[in-house]
Amino acid sequence: MTTTLITGGTVVSATGRAPADVLIDGEKIRAVLAPGSTLLGHDLTASVDTVVDATGKYVIPGGIDAHTHMELPFGGTAASDTFETGTRAAAWGGTTTIIDFAVQKYGERVQDGLAAWHAKAAGNCAIDYGFHQIIGGVDDDSLSAMRGLLDEGVSSFKLFMAYPGVFYSDDAQILKAMQVSRDTGLLTMMHAENGPAIDVLAQQLVDAGKTDPYYHGIARAWQMEEEATHRAIMLADLTGAPLYVVHVSAKQAVEQLAGARDRGQNVFGETCPQYLYLSLEEQLGAPGFEGAKWVCSTPLRSRAEGHQNAMWQALRTNDLQMVSTDHCPFCMKDQKELGLGDFRKIPNGIGSVEHRMDLMYQGVVTGEITLERWVELTSTTPARMFGLYGTKGVIQPGADGDVVVYDPNGHTSIGYDKTHHMNMDHSAWEGFEIDGHVDTVIARGRVIVDGGRYLGSKGDGRYVKRGLSQYLI
């Protein structure tokens, strides 16, 4: 059992900040102490195994990225990060827990889909991991299996109103799954886009010769997201299911969520860094096939229409509660290139798991959110939303020793493929400059990143069973 003392820093939580030292004993936080505290008159720094000097730096709970897709089969290929490469990249960026999506495909048993994800992750992860369950085929068998998910530590499932023929559920299936959500407390996570209508628009665009990546964003118009978000809210209201809408990007979808919350409905929404910083015009509309790097769903939205500013505002007003990455990386070569000449064949997804903490910290620097809200959006609320709070998402005695030392005077330049650790041949974030730096990452008491060196090992991360959301009413 090693002991670690983090000294001289400012501990930041979702509710405040204060100078304090943090003592980690083995895997757990033992104490949060007044700076320079002694133990029976002895200098604590002399009695611990490791001292981390955090003078002038922020000490925050490790990031929790509640939306990742390691190794996800999609569009005739699979997301390029394995659990090994993706969780190591996450660690580099100050994320100490991910919640990935186990997949039940149509015709497959839910239990088998979950077991397959355990097999992919076990022994390979750098940081702790949990699972949501994608239900790709709602039928009597899967509805019954869903009732056993909580026993497996899976307290949320995702349905898709998009991707007909792949993961899509129709309204009747959604209604039945939401009834299980109401009965069990499992949180319904929804990909809210009108997939059948989008497919018609996409076909018409391709028929008209409009095949560039930009048209991915035109086919997946904001009306498709607003309509599906509204429908999901109505079905949740009818059934009494708690609802969490993933990767919200349209300001009109936020308005739907805000309206439902104002009416007292138990609905929540996350957005992702790409919807805060990137746009239809600048990235998806990049010359030639370049825009393929940013093909994801929901799509990047028009800056002229003000979606990005609306997302920041919703994070300030709590109309959106969390920021996850929806990390789903694909290389340009052999993967995104599958859609040369037809944007429908470009695998959907962006890789960001390494950059979420930095990108959101930049929002503190530019005055979009406060320091405390940064911690709340990236760690504390994800823990509370997905049944990990107390063990994760907070620096307090008894919590896991998941701690990040963040240097507000440091700097992070995101370049092409050599300046990050994700298994990609490019970066969707090339050229971004961050006025801060992840210095030290401690995961369950082990220093795994320090001063630009990776000190962890494959298999450090463990599966975490999750309980019900704290936001159930």
Binding site for ligand URP (CB under 6 A): 69, 191, 247, 296-297, 326, 328, 348-349
The token duo for 41 is 């008159």
CB of 192 to ligand URP, least distance (A): 10
The CB-of-332 to Zn ion minimum distance in angstroms stands at 20
In this structure, what is the dihedral angle of CA atoms 126, 128, 129, 130, given to the nearest 10 degrees?
A: 170
For residue 67, the minimal CB distance to ligand URP (Å) is: 7
C-alpha–C-alpha distance, residues 181 and 198, integer Å: 27
CB of 110 or CB of 296, closer to ligand URP: 296
Binders in 315-334 for Zn ion, by CB under 5 A: 326
Q: If you search the block for the tokens 């969520």, which residue do you land on?
A: 257
Query: Which ranges constitute the DSSP H helices of 354-422?
Result: 356-365, 371-375, 381-385
Residue least distant from Zn ion (Cβ): 191
Q: Who's near 103: CB < 8 A, 6+ residues apart?
A: 72, 73, 113, 116, 117, 134, 136
Q: Which is nearer to Zn ion, 142 or 348 (CB)?
A: 348
The β-bridge partners of 245 are 190, 269
Torsion angle, CA of 22/28/30/33, rounded to 10 degrees? 10
CB of 69 to Zn ion, least distance (A): 5
Among 88, 132, 191, 444, binds Zn ion (CB under 5 A): 191
Pick between residue 160 and residue 374 the one whose CB is nearest to ligand URP: 160
Q: Which partner, ligand URP, Zn ion, none, binds residue 327 by CB below 5 to 8 Å per kind? A: none
> Rounded to the nearest whole angstrom, what is the least distance from the CB of residue 399 to ligand URP in the complex?
29
Residue 296 binding partner per list Zn ion, ligand URP, none, with a CB distance cut-off of 5 to 8 Å that depends on partner kind:
ligand URP
Task: Pick the closest to residue 96 from 350, 447, 441 (CA basis).
Answer: 441
Residues 108-147 as x/- pattern, contact with Zn ion by CB under 5 A: ----------------------------------------
In terms of Cβ atoms closer than 10 Å to its own Cβ (0-12, 13-18, 19+), residue 439 is buried
Minimum CB distance to ligand URP smaller for 155 or for 348: 348
Output the smallest distance, CB 23 to ligand URP, in A: 39
In the complex, the smallest distance separating the C-beta of residue 163 from ligand URP, rounded to whole angstroms, is 7
- The span from the CA of 451 to the CA of 359, in Å, is 19
Please identify, using beta-carbon distances, which residue of 160 and 374 lies nearer to Zn ion. 160
For ligand URP, give the closer residue by CB, 277 or 406.
277
Q: Which amino acid is at 468?
A: L
Q: Which is nearer to ligand URP, 192 or 438 (CB)?
A: 192
What are the b/e assignments for 192-224, b being 16+ CB within 10 Å?
A: bbbbebbbebbeebbeeeebbbbbbbbbbbbeb
H or E stretch at 225: helix 222-239
100 binds Zn ion (CB under 5 A): no
Which residues fall within 8 angstroms of residue 325, CB to CB, at 6 or more apart? 65, 67, 68, 272, 273, 350, 352, 353, 355, 356
Residue 375 contact partner, candidates ligand URP, Zn ion, none, CB within 5 to 8 A by sort of partner = none
**Binding region for Zn ion (CB under 5 A):** 191, 326
